Every structure is written in C-alpha cells, then in structure tokens.
Structure 1
Amino acid sequence: MLTGEIRNKVDKIWTDIWAGGISNPLTVIEQLTYLMFIRSLDERELENESMEALGGEVGPKLFPQDEQGQMMRWSKFKTKDPRVIFEIVGTQVFPYIKAMNGASNSAFARYMHDAMFLIPTPQVLQKIITGLDELYEHDIQNLDMQGDLYEYMLGKLASAGQNGQFRTPKHIRDMMVRLLAPTPNDKICDPACGTAGFLVSSAEYIREKYEAEMTSEQWDHFAGEMFSGFDTDRTMLRLSAMNLMLHSITQPHVDYVDSVSKQNDISSKYDLILANPPFTGTVDAESIHDNLKTVCDTKKTELLFVALFLRMLRKGGRCACIVPDGVLFGSTKAHKSLRKELVENHQLQAVVSMPSGVFKPYAGVSTAILIFTKTGSGGTDKVWFYDMKADGFSLDDKRSPIEANDIPDIIVRYHNLAGEADRKPTEKSFLVDKSAIVANDYALSINKYKETVVQKVEYPSTKEIMAELFAIEDRIAVGLKELEAMLNEKG
C-alpha cells in the first residue's frame, strides 16, 4: 500500500503537470506512462549489463551502443540541463520508443506508434523526471508498490467515456477475483479491459496465493498467454499494457478489438472472464456478430457483452461480470431472452446486488455482479442472492473509508453455499429455487425475492397525545413568565 507521503509526492508531480497546462487526467497519465516506460527500459538495460559483468550471457541491447544512443538512457540524460533533457526526450527518445516495435515485443510498444509527447516545457519535464526518480529510488521498493503507484494514478480518472464505460474500483475488482479464485493454469480474459484492472487484480491474487509453488512453465504462462484483454480505445490499450507490464506480465494478449462485432470470432477459449462492460452504449446493428443476436437480438451493449462472455468461455469456464440493474429486470424480449439463456442453458450461481454509490463520484447507477458457469446443458438449481449494503467506503461523492463492509462476508458465504440453505429471504443473503425465478419471468432483481419484516408499532392514543401537548404548552407558559420576570428585574 502507498503511504500518505508517497501519495503526496505523486500529487506534487500531478500538480506540476497541471500547472504546465495539461489538465486532462487521461493525458497526464499517458505522459507519465511514457516516462515510466522510458525509465523501465533503462532499468532493464542496467540489469542486463550487471548480468554480463557477472559472466552471464550477453543479451540483445535495448539502446544503440553509440554515444547518441546511450544518451537516450534515463540514467544518462536525467542530470542534464532541462533544455538538453527536453531536446533529447522530445526529438530522440520519444521517436525511438515509438518505433521500437521491432526491438521490443512488449504490448506497450505495439501501441506506441500513434502516441504524442505533450510535456509543454523543459522545466515541467525536469520536475517530472526528478519526482519519478525520487519515487523509484526511495519509495517504490518492489513490483507491488510499483503497481500500487500506477493504480493510484489511474484512480484519478474520474470521468466515464461516451459509451458508458468507467473504471471499476480496485476493492470491487479484488472481490470479484476472490469469488472466482483463479489458478496458475487458467486463461483469463476481459473483453472490455480499459486499463486492465481485472487482469491486474487476477495477477495479484495468483502471485499472492501460488507464487511459492508455481513451476517455470506456469511463470511463462503468467507472463504471457494467461491474460488477454480487448478494447476499442488505443489510449486505454497503452495504459493497460503498461499496467500489466508493471505487474510482471510482459507479453499479455492485449489487442484493439471491437469485442461484440464480427471482428471477434473467439469462441470457447477462456477459463475465466472478469469484466465491467460498457453500460449505456449501443452499436451498429450491422456490425454485431450474428451468433450474439441468436442469444439476444439487441443493440444494447450491456446485453451483448454477457452473451459474448458465454461464447468466449470454454465449457466449464466461469464468469463474474458487472451489469446495470436493468439487465436483471428489463422487460424487453432481449432482456428476458438473455436471462433465460443463463438460467436454462447454463449454471447461474449468484447475483450480488451492489449499492448505487459504488461507482461515485462519476456514476450513480445501481449495479449487480452476475456469476455463472458455461455448461451448454443447464445446471441452475438454486441462485444465491446477496444484498450488499456497504463496501467499506461512504456511498457519497467523497467515498471516504468507513468500517461497514460486506465484502469479506460475501466472499466467505459464496465459497460455502451449502451453509446458506437455511437462510431466509429476510436476511442479507439467501438461496432462491430456479422454479421461483422461472415463475417470475426469469427476473433476477433481489427485490423480487427479498422479504421485508414489518414490525407492528403501538402508538399512544389521541387522548394521550393531546394530554402531552397540553402539558408541553403549560411548561412553555411557565417558562415565558419566568423569562418576563427576569427581564423586568433587569429593566
């Protein structure tokens, strides 16, 4: 976790950029990302040189070996005059990393060719370089902290995109990952990856639980094929590739793909899908893949993506995805068709209802988490519902930490559904028979099944209330007379 001191240092760097004229948070993160990448290349080169000095194998060089090429390294230019640094980074280093796809096969390098260097002045650039250097040399001790640093910066993205996509808070992502509990052998995908938060949370969980026992083959799988993400925003792909790289995932399958279109033919490939797909967007009907229309004939992205998850999962594959409440109770033919598909043809396991403040300050929409397994042959018997009331943060725009938090309880109860059998619909979590869901037109809103306990309240009679009012009136009159007497004495 980042300390308050580290956060203050990051905020200082952010303020310096903002004061220099860059106010768009996405642009700020992009520019910081480029500089972090430039620094990471030099770090990798220094590690290779250390290995060579110890008698190790001579590896390929990331920078040209002539004087000009070596001057592009962070450790060489960072102490120069600000104007010299600005010239080197703007005219040499940046064009070099944009064109290094042939020399570096990282996902980040693949999306650099349309990037722009926008740091406005030599002075601002020097402040950023000094600030980042201080963070890395004195505060960022390991990969976890490096990832936390990037996560903190991504947290400053406080605006939803035009198609309704927005960043999922880390604690919600972590909860969803713990509900699915990935293993080192899984293939994990987020078809609407944004900044790759779900993939990063999955990687953190796997390292936390399995790091000591993973084989070299599993580590190779971890660094590349384990994680896949798709998005239609190249800026997001750059950020996601950087985010993954900072978490030791150097070769993720991160691609520019319109996931619900005919461009995406992936089927029965992944073990796990974790996603928060776009909510309010619609897509061109002509571009939608035909096999998604067979599940739900619609242009609504929130429905199409759930149908897509079913297609992309292998049999036995599992999904945890966030959907707006409308998916749970919508009355259109497409809404009902999708819910029926989940309940009748696959195994719907859980619906976790979340409070509307979870995505504040940039969205107040009510949402739920669907958890299901692709079977192709049914399997839904009982569906577990949980009514989350608190997630550890206030539900206003400030989202301040609070003690109330249902997340630990959700994780424990989900992994022991047998213990939920006797829970009543009046409690926070309970099981609902498939037959009841079918009878309710496949509605998945918890309000359809939750029962409210109404307690009889005994009120005093009208005669008693009037007597109390007269008594209060008498006390007021006495008080007024006492006050009048006090004022007369002073007057």
Structure 2
Amino acid sequence: MIGSTVENPIYLEAHQKFRWHTFKNLDPESLFTLFTQAQTDSDNLTTFEHMKQLGSGAGVFAQFMKGATFMIPTPKLLEQVVQMIDKIKMDDRDTKGDLYEYLLSKIATAGTNGQFRTPRHIMKMMVDIMQPTQEDTVCDPACGSAGFLVATGEYIHDNHPDWFHEQDFRTHYNNSMFTGIEFDSTMLRIGAMNLQLHGIDSPQLIGRDALSEANAETRDQYSLILANPPFKGSLDYDSVESSLLKTVKTKKTELLFLALILRMLNIGGRCAVIIPDGVLFGSSKAHKQLRETLLSKHKLDAVISMPSGVFKPYAGVSTAILVFTKTNNGGTDNVWFYDMQADGYSLDDKCSPIADNDSADIVKRFKQREQEHKRKRKRTEQI
C-alpha cells in the first residue's frame, strides 16, 4: 500500500548509491573504487563481490558466480561500459536477454570441447515444433549457455501469457520446470545469468558430466528434452555410466547422449535433438544398434535434415534434428522427413540474413504431418 513500509527492500538507505540512476552518474574513479575496494556498507565487500551474492536466497546466480573475477582494468573503460549500457532502452522485457545473447555469440571459445553454439533461430524452431505444455519438465543435458531453456521460456511468454495468471504455474516455471546439466563451470555461470536475465528465477542447474556415473540416478524424470550435445571433444570413457554402454557400446558422444536422453525421459516424454548425419548413416555396430533402438522400442516421429552451413563459422558439419517419443514399446509406423534447404541465413561464415527460410514451413507441416501422406511429392531419382 502507498505510504506503508516496504518489507525486505532490495536497496537499504546505505545502498542507494548502487541504484542505477545514481550509480551511472558517478565519476570514473568513484565507479572503479566501488568495484575494486571493499565497502563498509556492503559487508566489507567490493560491489562486484556484493553483486555475486545477490539472489543467493532464491536463485542459482550466486552459486555459479563464485569463481567470477572483475576483468575491467581501468576507471575510464568501466565508465565507457556504464555509459554504453545506459544508452540501451530497457523498456522491453527481452532487451537485456537479447544483449546478453549477442555477447554470447562473440565468445571466442565457441567450438571447443565439441561445443557449438546453437543458432537462436534453430532453437526457436525446435521449441515451436515441440510446443511445450504447462506441465512439462524441460531438460537440456548439455545445456551450455542454457539457450534451449531460455527459448522454451520465451515460447511460453509469447504463446501462453495467460498461464502466468496462475500461481501454481508461476511457481513451477520459476523453480521446477527447467533443468540444465553442464560440466563446464564457465558455461554454467553464463547459463545461470542468461536464465536470470530472461526472468527464470530458480532453474535447476547441475554442474556435472551428464554421461558420468555421477548422473546415474537421473532417469525417467523429464517430459521434454531439447539438446544439441557435443559431437566431438574429449571423452573419459572409463567414467561413462554403465547403463549407457549397455544401450550402445561406443566412444561416440552423440550416440551416448541419445542413450542418455532415452534414459532421462519419462514414458511419453518427447525429445528434439541435433545430431550429426553420421547417426543416420553410420555403419558401425553402435550406430545400427542405436537406430534399431529408436525405431523398434520407441517412436521416431521426424528427421529434419539441415544445411551443412547452419553452424558456421564454428563448424561446417552436416546435421539433422531427430524428434522422437519414449514409449518402451515401439510405435514407429511413419517417420516424417524434411530436407531443409534454407534457414533464413547465408550458409557461409558471414551468416547474413536472406529471404529463403524453411523454418515456418517445417513447423507448420510438422504439426500437420498426419496429413502428409496425402501430399503429392515430386519423383526423385532412385539410387
């Protein structure tokens, strides 16, 4: 009520200098001092250390910020950063998240350890295909910067804003709906901040190797998995959880992650996952075994082949999206195939926007795939 005392205020009287409208007007030396020297009114912490503790009672931000260090070297550079941020219009809920995702796209380490940042428009297309529900528990077992979890949250905000009128859903959304697993502590920190900037307060972020014995208890738990697991990089074969090797005995991470996803999904759970073309055409015993498992024991819904330039400039590998449902009793009668020719961007290192884009057609036709068998197709050359 107007005139009443605010309970648990974010800014106490001594902390008013940290509010943006005051903070941005400080001179460069004062700004730098706040960030680099302990402040008596902030529990003798620097402002940066104090910021790292924000949300410790309700979110994961503080947990994964423990190892962060302040890297801006001079007062002048800090002032320039503050002034640049101040010029950005923050009225739109998406602005902070968009800015952060732009910075993510510039990370120099992308492509190491088999990690390739999934283009935002591809994640959006996959989420649109899967149509998350109110009750879904969503997981990415190789979450990186948490892009798939963020994309799921954005889908819900854009398509079902009325869900947030329900207290039960708001509690689910902010606490139990989203889970990300990632072994790289730096990426976990980035993912935690990405989720927080997109308004997801307390997601479940787990710092471990999803393929390892440490993750052995995670099974039959999620109703929706969205992922782009690493195709290459190092693998500690001796630490791979034993049940995965019983499903598919291999050192190829893409096959092991598919086995993991099948273990983590509950019955009826759905998945959209990016895989290298080798999963579809590989001739090894492990490749054949995994394909047989998907086709005969579960329900393979769709295969969407993507152009080889989708992941440029990081990689030119040919990839596809598998969409399947865990049933444990088969159900694959028809598999919907789509050969994507264009994703709205040039397939070179520049990734410039272009007019050709199959994404909307893919989403529309996937939702109507039961009628696809009536669709007339061009005859293709038989090999």
Same fold by TM-score greater than 0.5: yes
> Which position in structure 2 is the counterpart of 1:286?
238
Please tell me the root mean square deviation across aligned C-alpha atoms, in Å.
Answer: 2.0
> Which position in structure 2 is the counterpart of 1:111?
64
Give 1:301 shift: 1.0
Mind listing any 5+ residue stretches in structure 2 that lack a counterpart? 38-45
Task: In structure 2, give the amino acid aligned to 1:414.
Answer: F
Task: In structure 2, give the amino acid aligned to 1:317.
Answer: G
Cα separation, 1, equivalents of 2:58 and 2:252: 36
Cα separation, 1, equivalents of 2:266 and 2:273: 16
Q: Counterparts of 1:65-214 in structure 2 under 5 Å? A: 65=12, 67=14, 69-91=15-37, 92-99=46-53, 103-135=56-88, 139-157=89-107, 159-214=109-164
Larger RCO, structure (CA 8 Å, separation 6 or more): 2
Cα separation, 1, equivalents of 2:196 and 2:284: 42
TM-score, structure 1 as length reference: 0.72
Give 1:453 shift: 7.7
- Deviation larger for 210-219 or 358-367: 210-219
Query: Do the aligned residues in 2 keep the contact of 1:426 with 1:453 (CA within 8 Å)?
Result: no
Query: Do the aligned residues in 1 keep the contact of 2:114 with 2:233 (CA within 8 Å)?
Result: yes
Cα separation, 1, equivalents of 2:199 and 2:239: 35
Q: CA 1:162–1:156 in 2, change beyond 3 Å: closer, same or farther?
A: closer
> Which position in structure 2 is the counterpart of 1:271?
223
The question of 1:452 aligning with 2:375 is answered no
Task: In structure 2, give the amino acid aligned to 1:113.
Answer: K
* Partner residue of 2:346 out of 389, 394, 400: 394
Cα separation, 1, equivalents of 2:64 and 2:174: 18
Cα separation, 2, equivalents of 1:115 and 1:330: 42
Task: In structure 2, give the amino acid aligned to 1:325.
Answer: D
Q: CA 1:408–1:100 in 2, change beyond 3 Å: closer, same or farther?
A: closer
> Which position in structure 2 is the counterpart of 1:476?
none
Query: Do the aligned residues in 1 keep the contact of 2:134 with 2:163 (CA within 8 Å)?
Result: no
Query: Do the aligned residues in 1 keep the contact of 2:114 with 2:231 (CA within 8 Å)?
Result: yes
More helix per residue: 1 or 2?
A: 1
Query: Do the aligned residues in 2 keep the contact of 1:158 with 1:361 (CA within 8 Å)?
Result: no
Q: CA 1:232–1:304 in 2, change beyond 3 Å: closer, same or farther?
A: same
Give 1:150 shift: 1.9
Cα separation, 2, equivalents of 1:162 and 1:396: 20
The CA deviation string for residues 171-213 of structure 1, in whole angstroms up to 9 with x for no partner, is 1001000110001221101111111111111111111111124
Cα separation, 2, equivalents of 1:222 and 1:98: 23
Cα separation, 2, equivalents of 1:366 and 1:158: 22
The 3-state SS of whatever aligns with 1:341 is helix
- Deviation larger for 155-164 or 265-274: 155-164
The CA deviation string for residues 234-259 of structure 1, in whole angstroms up to 9 with x for no partner, is 12111111111122101011121210
> Which position in structure 2 is the counterpart of 1:299?
251
Query: Do the aligned residues in 2 keep the contact of 1:159 with 1:362 (CA within 8 Å)?
Result: no
Give 1:423 shift: 4.1
The question of 1:251 aligning with 2:202 is answered yes
Mind listing any 5+ residue stretches in structure 1 that lack a counterpart? 1-50, 428-450, 455-491
Task: In structure 2, give the amino acid aligned to 1:145.
Answer: T
Task: In structure 1, give the amino acid aligned to 2:155.
Answer: Y
The CA deviation string for residues 205-242 of structure 1, in whole angstroms up to 9 with x for no partner, is 11111112441110111112111111111121111111
The 3-state SS of whatever aligns with 1:163 is helix
> Which position in structure 2 is the counterpart of 1:55?
4
TM-score, structure 2 as length reference: 0.92
The 3-state SS of whatever aligns with 1:143 is coil
> Which position in structure 1 is the counterpart of 2:174?
223
Query: Do the aligned residues in 2 keep the contact of 1:282 with 1:299 (CA within 8 Å)?
Result: no
Cα separation, 1, equivalents of 2:181 and 2:80: 34
Query: Do the aligned residues in 2 keep the contact of 1:297 with 1:334 (CA within 8 Å)?
Result: yes
Query: Do the aligned residues in 1 keep the contact of 2:163 with 2:169 (CA within 8 Å)?
Result: no
The CA deviation string for residues 59-108 of structure 1, in whole angstroms up to 9 with x for no partner, is 2x445x474x554444443322211211111221112233557x543211
Cα separation, 2, equivalents of 1:220 and 1:420: 39
* Partner residue of 2:323 out of 352, 357, 371: 371
The question of 1:310 aligning with 2:239 is answered no
Cα separation, 2, equivalents of 1:71 and 1:238: 26
Cα separation, 2, equivalents of 1:334 and 1:425: 33
Task: In structure 2, give the amino acid aligned to 1:212.
Answer: D
Higher Cα radius of gyration: 1
> Which position in structure 2 is the counterpart of 1:357?
309
Q: CA 1:260–1:309 in 2, change beyond 3 Å: closer, same or farther?
A: same
Cα separation, 2, equivalents of 1:219 and 1:167: 29
Task: In structure 1, give the amino acid aligned to 2:202.
Answer: Q
Query: Do the aligned residues in 1 keep the contact of 2:52 with 2:61 (CA within 8 Å)?
Result: no
Cα separation, 2, equivalents of 1:346 and 1:158: 39
Cα separation, 2, equivalents of 1:95 and 1:243: 19
Query: Do the aligned residues in 2 keep the contact of 1:281 with 1:300 (CA within 8 Å)?
Result: no
Q: Percent identity?
A: 50
The 3-state SS of whatever aligns with 2:145 is coil
Query: Do the aligned residues in 1 keep the contact of 2:111 with 2:315 (CA within 8 Å)?
Result: no
The question of 1:326 aligning with 2:272 is answered no
Task: In structure 2, give the amino acid aligned to 1:179.
Answer: I
Query: Do the aligned residues in 2 keep the contact of 1:184 with 1:210 (CA within 8 Å)?
Result: no
